[in-house]
Structures are given as C-alpha cells and as structure tokens.
Homo-oligomer: A and B are copies of this chain.
Amino acid sequence: MIIVLKKGAQDKDIDNLIDKVKSLGLKPMVSRGQERTIIGVIGPEDVIRLQPLEAYPGVEKVMPVLAPYKLVSREFKEGDSIVKVKEGVEFGSKKIAIVAGPCAVETKDQLKEIAFKIKNSGASLIRGGAFKPRTSPYTFQGLGEEGLKILKDISQEVDMPTVTEVMDTRDVELVASYADVLQIGARNMQNFNLLKEVGQTKKPIILKRGLSATVKELLMSAEYILSEGNFNVILCERGIRTFSEFTRNTLDVSAIPAAKMLSHLPVIADPSHACGKWGLVGPLSKSAVAAGADGLLVEVHSNPKDALSDGPQQLLPENFTSLIQELRKVAQAVGRSL
C-alpha cells in the first residue's frame, strides 16, 4: 500500500499516519520528495486495506499494490485449474467445452428435439433456463421446478450434463438437486449471499460477468465462492454495457486472456447474450476461441420464431452444426480440440 500525501501536508499529519500504520503492526517507509511525501507500507496489505486512510488529513490518495483477491489468483495457484463435471466433460483442459441449448426450457418435446441435435453436433453440456431473470414482470418467467425436472429427464435420455441458472438463495438446494452445473447470471454477479450459498455446494458454478463489472470485480465475486470452499468455478465473459448500440452488449474479448493471466480458473464466453443477434454468434464464437476461451455457451432453438424468450439471438440447430465445424478448425489453429 502506498500513501501519497498532499503537497504541503503538515508534519503532524504525516506523524499521525505513521503512528496509525505502526499501530496496525505494519512498517511504514517514508520517502520525502521535493514535491510530495510518500509512505510505503510493508506487510500484509489486507490489514490496511480496511482502513479508510483517504479520510485522514493530508492524504491525497492511497494506492494499493497487491490485488484484493487471493484464492482465485495465479499467485495462489500457478497452473490452470480444470473443473470436472463428469468423466470426459470438463472446463479448462485442452478440449473446448460447448454448452448449448435454448434460452428457456419450454416443453419436454422442445428440449428433447434440441438436445439430440446439439449432442450430435458436438455439444458437451445442455443448458436451459427454468428460472428466468426478465426485465419485465409481464413476460415469461420460466417453468420453475417443472422446468428443472424436464431438464433432468432429457439430460438422462441424451446423456449430457446440464447447466441452469439459480437466482434466489432459497432455490439453491432445489436447483442443485436437479442440475449438474449452476449458473450465476450477470445481474447476480454481486448478489453476495447467493455467491456464498452456491459456495457451500460442491457443484461446478458458471459465474457470469456483470454488465458493468471489471475483470477484478468478477474475480472478487469468484473469491466469495472459493472462500466458502467451492473451487469449481468457471468464469464467463458475456458482454459488457457500453455506448455501442449495434449489438445488445459489447463482447470484451480481451477479458478472456486478462482473466486467465490473473487467475487459474477456466474462462468461457457467451456470444449469444453478448451480441443479441444470431447472425453475429458465429464470428464472436470464433473470436472467443481464438482469444483462448476454454468453452462457449451458445443458445440454440429449433424454432426461434416461436421461442418464449430471446428469440433473435438463438441459432437454429443446422446453423449450430455448421458453427461447430468451423470452430473445430479455429480450435485446432490455437492448439486446442473441440
């Protein structure tokens, strides 16, 4: 931690700060420059991070030196983590994992048809929402537990593990009893109680980046889950909110290598929500894989025109099949398989 003092800070202010730092069991190193005095603080940064030093007289700014996250960091664990869902289905290994399926579970027939098609095309997991976060209270909110049951049934028929979102602390146990991987949506990335709750399951968790979250905040949210004992976290870049209006959100493709540089956790991308337009899902998927993504979440629907949610961004199964063929080549070009 570095404390920069104001030009003209008083000696008594400086002494005050030095005393404060010492009282925390830390060692201050004072550099008196021509224009500014700077106090470097040696010792565990956490202790001092919790102190509102900016509120002290004479202080211009406080600059942390160390990252605030621990368990998720490359410094805690150097090698890449692999999150295993079941035999042969994992995130973070050489093989890129494809999660596909409709935005929402609508009926058993709908899901079954899609499930067989995406499995044949090369998907490893099936997704489908049972609890849907919707901007309007007047739109389809998901089938709830009924949707979870359908998802599980189909999962067994087609032999693919499932991914589904949990939105409420009260539902974690229920959702965990049906699904193989729990998803925390972008709107809940900083729903800290929900993070703690899923941290107490041992299920793999796909944690989506919030629309206005920095990569560091995403890592801090993952830290909540790991700090409860669940290290099976998969980070997901799904587009951020910017002024750019052609796509629904802006896929921040640099977040993929950035997160992998800072953290050992696997990182996947969700091109469907990032762009909101099925015609762009292809280029964005390839782009994410080329940038190093360990997996993709792709929305696929047999009949997007009649979808109960997010119709415009869902791929037809035949388009998904072609996409996978193209993605396979890109994956190989960057030393991965699919």
Contact = CB atoms under 8 A, between A and B. Distances in A.
B214 A312 contact: no
B55 A314 contact: yes
A321 interface: no
A212 B211 contact: yes
A244 B253 contact: no
Interface size on A, as a range, is 35 or more
B212 A241 contact: yes
28 contacts: A2-B63, A34-B43, A34-B44, A35-B45, A46-B138, A50-B139, A50-B140, A52-B306, A52-B307, A55-B278, A55-B312, A63-B63, A68-B136, A69-B136, A137-B227, A187-B191, A212-B243, A214-B245, A240-B244, A242-B252, A244-B252, A245-B245, A254-B284, A261-B279, A261-B280, A283-B291, A289-B290, A290-B291
B261 A244 contact: no
B242 A250 contact: yes
A220 B187 CA distance: 14
A309 B29 CA distance: 26
Top 8 A-B residue pairs of the complex, sorted by shortest distance between their CB atoms: A52-B311, A212-B212, A290-B290, A329-B333, A54-B312, A286-B290, A287-B291, A55-B304
A271 to B, nearest CB: 9
Interface string A299-338: 0000011111011101000000000001001101110000
